[in-house]
Amino acid sequence: MTDNGSADSVRARGLAKMAEVYGTEFQDYPGSHFAVTADHLFADIWSRPALSIRDRRLILLGALTAQGAIDTAGIQIGAALRNEELTEEQLHEIAVFLCHYVGWPNGTKLDLLVGTIVAQQKKAARQQQAERTE
């Protein structure tokens, strides 16, 4: 096996893709669940060239909203904003669109969560700015 296919190399690619997708660094964790997440989902699936991270995130937001997994969708919303893949306006529009396909309650929950996460990120940015000017 070459270095490019070694377990360490696959894990490194997975961790790097996770950092790219979520806009924050990830550390390696033990266990088979994390191994499948880093080594397969991120090193292989999120890394395939046919779709961009933004494309995958849009699909994932729709799937999570359809399942009612709004808390998990919040992780994707935060990452999309941090990575500047989607704007606040676009995220609200996604919620309105999804209301018509996955149900008004789930779409509305997503829309409310967009507002909450945007407000949290704006507050954090203001606090960071205030700390820098002190």
User: Average pLDDT, stretch 25-46?
Assistant: 94
The residue that leads in pLDDT, 56 or 1, is: 56
Q: How far is Cα 113 from Cα 97, in angstroms, rounded to an integer?
A: 15
Q: How far is Cα 86 from Cα 65, in angstroms, rounded to an integer?
A: 16
Burial class of residue 126 (count of CB atoms within 10 Å of its CB; 0-12, 13-18, 19+)? exposed
Average pLDDT, the chain: 94
Q: How far is Cα 134 from Cα 122, in angstroms, rounded to an integer?
A: 19
pLDDT at 3 over 70: no
User: Average pLDDT, stretch 92-111?
Assistant: 97
5 — pLDDT class (breaks 50, 70, 90): low
Q: How far is Cα 35 from Cα 28, in angstroms, rounded to an integer?
A: 9
